[in-house]
Amino acid sequence: MFTGIVTDIGEIVQTRQDGDLWARIKTAYDIPSIDIGASIACDGMCLTVISAQGDAQGGNFDVQISAESIAKTNLHKSPWTPGQRINLERALRLGDELGGHIVSGHVDGVAQIVAMHDEGDSTRVRLRAPDALARFIAPKGSVALNGTSLTVNEVDGAEFGINFIPHTKTATTWGQAQVGDWINLEIDTLARYVARLQDFGGA
């Protein structure tokens, strides 16, 4: 379980295909505090730590990514490459502040950035969601995009808008986003269950 509040920007050190996809990620996290088997959200994907190397000032951790996860995420559109930066969040602990919204780390699909423009110091970004997921996105509702908890400004069919303040652009990888980028999308859990109840009631 996560909140969508990014707490570090990691860097892809190395990847290789070894049955599943294996990746080594550089982080500033306190490595000794990361248990083997712990979950870390990497650009919104809940991945399991299989090994780690470093100290309290940071280091690397390794993950494996299944073919199913690749097919559901932006990795099948734009595979990770060494030097690429990704959003990281450690799993929510009992007593932690819930500053974003409840995020599972299970990516529902991939959205694409179709337009961007600056408004003062902020940046407006317009994305197109898969048609099957568009009905779960509502104005003033929540979505997780590349692991970042965000509020939807407006919705027009399968397209929706997000506003990024300067802090979000510097604390996450959103400061380097470009039109055409493919983005991991997780819809709000509440929206999923509301839609399910509506379907059930109409059956």
In the numeric block, which tokens belong to residue 155? 């919705």
Query: Residue 172 carries which DSSP code?
Result: S
**Rounded distance between C-alpha atoms, residue 116 and residue 17, angstroms:** 34
Tens place of pLDDT per residue across the chain (203 aa): 898 999 999 999 999 998 899 999 999 999 999 999 999 999 999 999 999 999 999 999 999 999 999 999 999 999 999 999 999 999 987 666 666 678 889 999 999 999 999 999 999 999 999 999 999 999 999 999 999 999 999 999 999 999 999 999 999 999 999 999 999 999 987 766 666 666 666 54
Q: What is the pLDDT of residue 101?
A: 75
Q: What percent of the chain has pLDDT over 70?
A: 90
* Among 72, 42, 49, CA closest to 133: 72
In the numeric block, which tokens belong to residue 9? 């920007």
* Domains defined for the chain, CATH in brackets: 8-90 (2.40.30.20), 109-201 (2.40.30.20)
What is the sign, positive or negative, of the torsion defined by CA atoms of 39, 93, 88, 72? positive
**Rounded distance between C-alpha atoms, residue 48 and residue 62, angstroms:** 8
**Rounded distance between C-alpha atoms, residue 72 and residue 202, angstroms:** 29
Can you tell me whether residue 42 is helix, strand or coil?
A: strand
